[in-house]
Structure 1
Amino acid sequence: MASKISQSKSDLTKRDFRAMIFILFKLQKTRVEIYESFQEHFPNLVPSLSTVERWYREFIDGSFVLEDAPRSGRLNISHNEENVNEMLDLITKDPHITYAQLEYETEYHRDN
């Protein structure tokens, strides 16, 4: 009987699962075999089957990058008083300022 590995969500990242999928892909396991193995060993953390399939497809297509691709989204800023005041000042001066301009002016970056 296979043992279950006790992990908290903070212990395993998306990158960790992607790396495990890559190793199992190289060992010629199927998408379903990988998913079922994750369900057995990481019952509370397993990514969805569609996620496993998407990453598996990326490996088939020759993309072996384990990091998520950059994407647009909300600005990644820390919510301290100085940052909030800086943003409010820029928005007050120009209510039509864009996210890109805020990012440039404040040197904050979008989530990746």
Structure 2
Amino acid sequence: MKIFHYHYPFYDVTKTCGEQLCSNQDEFTKENMRFYIFMRCKLDESTKLIDQTLQTVCGDCACSYQTVRLWVKEFNKGKESLSDCPRRGRPKLCVNEHTIASIKKDIDEDPHISVRELKRHQWPFVWYSSYHHK
């Protein structure tokens, strides 16, 4: 039975082959996986070997082979950033407590404001729903 020794930023553990090091998906983030792929690319390891190691270490929480292949390709082209590049098109809109409170404030100020007006001015993601003015 082979014994592997893995060292990652969060822990230093020795496990037997086949045992998973990450039981919680949060322990091995996308950035950690990308850093691992980046380092292995610098060591000229094959995509298949990098993927097999990630599958052994992370099991179900490992990224797919296609993702490993994509990042290996990017790193071999010279990319050094571990984060995603900005995407084209309209950005995802954030609906959180702050935006909900702001919309409610706008409605409280003008109870007769229409959904169309809300969408046109500053809240393009507003959809028809019921909000009862108190």
Q: Measure the CA separation in 1 of the matches of 2:30 and 2:22.
A: 17
Q: Which has the higher contact order (CA 8 A, sep 6+)?
A: 1
Structure 1 range deviating more: 4-13 or 53-62: 4-13
Q: Measure the CA separation in 2 of the matches of 1:11 and 1:94.
A: 45
Asked whether the 8 Å contact 2:51–2:68 carries over to 1, the reply is yes
Q: TM-score, normalised by structure 1?
A: 0.72
3-state SS of 2:26 partner:
coil
Task: Give the number of equivalent residue pairs.
Answer: 101
Unaligned ranges ≥5, structure 1: 104-112
Unaligned ranges ≥5, structure 2: 5-14, 125-134
State whether structure 2 residue 113 is matched by structure 1 residue 94. Answer: no
Task: Indicate the RMSD between aligned Cα atoms, in angstroms.
Answer: 2.8
Divergent runs of 4+, >6 A: 87-91
Structure 1 range deviating more: 40-49 or 4-13: 4-13
2:77 to 49, 61, 65: 61
Q: Between Structure 1 and Structure 2, whose CA radius of gyration is higher? A: 2
> How far is the alpha carbon of 1:46 from its aligned partner?
0.9
Q: TM-score, normalised by structure 2?
A: 0.61
Match of 1:76 in 2: 94
